[in-house]
Chain A
Amino acid sequence: MATLESATKTVPSVSSEKTTPRKGMSPRARRQTLAFYTFVAPWLLGFVFLTIIPLIVGFLTSLTNYDGLNVFNLKFKGLENYQRILSDSDAIFSIGRTILWATLNVPAWIILSLILALILNQDIKWRGFFRTLFYLPNIIPVVATVWVWKIFLDANNGVLNAIIRVFYPDLTIRWLSDYALPSLTAISVWGGLGWGMVVFLAGLQGVPDELKEAARIDGANAIQVFFNITLPILTPILFFMLINALIGSLQAFVIPLLLGSGGGQASVPPRATYLYMVHAFRQIFVNQRYGYSTALLWSLSIVLLTLSLVVFWSSRYWVHYEVAVEEGEGKA
């Protein structure tokens, strides 16, 4: 949240400062310049070699038939790898799956996080305990999280089916294969709920109590107060969460791989959770199609960067309320 707020505010203030011309630098200015570049050198080198070069190499690879070994026998393929995406039925299937998964995951995560934040924003007993408890899954590493859910949802030995069997003795639901997408959503929401809740709780601090009080005196009930006061003030955060969730969902592939069979790099996720990034990952690590895989990645990057730019661009319009500005200023 504040990343964007402060970022948009900091940049102009920095750029407006006058820079001294390079020629005729005083010894002090020269020393300062030297010191500055010494301090940023590790990051700068890392940025060039670990971000820019891989991005360029990734793009160049996407134009070739590179398979991991044929460096001396590369063929330039132009945009062939990109065209191939459209005729690859697995890729199209994975795009469909990813869209479906995002439409399940994004609203589920946002709505549940918001509900929890609203409840825990009230003055209730054990508030701190509940907040900590709901945040904890966020701390658990993904491999442990998937183990938790694998044995919880196991068709034969899982607790969920055991509970269901109390009511329907002969029912055995294969959650992780027949209902893989809802299960994936449950796992993902379970892990992300605490984070979403904390961000919403911070946003709720920006809703002035006097405003809610005034509305209540005017006869508004809790639901009216929520939709007419709380929600409008929360829209910036809601929008931030929406884009964040969208970007996260489109890139998801770790949990499907962990839920898959075969293990390791060659793990085959349940078909219903064959997401776009899973497909891109498998092109390199199973099929050695580096060119095609990087084409898949670049295509996704363009979508993700567009989404990010939308947030970045729009943040100056929806970050409007005073509370956030004061907070940002205090930090800078």
Chain B
Amino acid sequence: MSRDTLVSFEGVVKSFGAFVAVKKLDFEIKKGAFLAIMGSSGCGKTTTLRMLAGLEAPTEGVIRLSGKPINDLPTWSRDTPMVWQSLALFPFLNVRENVEFALKMRGVGKAERRRRAEQWLDRMQITEFAERNISQLSGGQRQRVALARSLVVEPEILLLDEPLSALDAALKVRMQSVLKNLQRETGITFVYVTHSQSEAFSMADRVVIMSRGGIEQIGTPQEIYRTPGTRFVAEFLGSSNIFQGKLVQGDGGRTALDTPLGRFDTVASEGARIGGAATLTVLDTKTHLAAERPAHARNVLPVRMIGEEFVGATATIYLEAAGGQEIRVQKGHDTLSDLPLEIGRELFAYWEPGDGHVIAEG
């Protein structure tokens, strides 16, 4: 364990009776990191966070905070404040009293309490609401109160459990930048649990992807996006076209993948061996379309157009290859103008071998 590690999970298992919620977690969180734990519901991400907060005890393994095991430390003796999905603000206290709560529990004197709460009210720009009841605040203001309430003790780490899930889209984006800036300015380690890819990728500098109680991949958002570590990750992100097949030695000694849709040239990747089963992922932004079979391209796939979708300046074209496999192509509007985009039209999808990413299986 290096010196800049704040939290480490060592072989942590959590089971509820016969159900194993989290199996054998081994990972570290660095000081000052913004870590997102992402996964679909039931993948164990919230349980992991709750173990870190001390609201669940690990069945096996050790969790360390700054090197010290904290398994047996009750949650009120840890400095691991959490921002809840429901925010869990105290409805019988006003904004200021909510923010002062943690200080009051720690026996901080009245004057000092007020001074420190004032700082955070000011920082979160909610000073003008200080005397208001929680029920009189908007969603965004409540978020800020919840953040101030957790940060007032100036912890080393802040845990966030899908705090933005109840907000509308525009406010969500605004709060994302508030969170990101807050993290950067304070240097407090953030551990952010979410099922939303856009939230995780836009804020975190490190992302953990979990499924069925285990870790699928840990990496920077770029790494995970460009080179998904497992087929699950590629499917979960949904930003790549995925082909399954067997790795073979192709023409001229090049590595290729034999799939039911044909043979695609690829570049060799770590751990992939000839003859082994593998998954090829090609980002939908790196997949191109042509009306005529492109002569220069090495990987060409005949497809039929089945739909299109426009979001802002980006268009997603939905296509179908032989056997009904869906292929997606994402492009800027302007680059599509010379293509005959009609439903049912036969087109050709193609990509460069170097844009494919091979995931070895088994």
A binds B: no
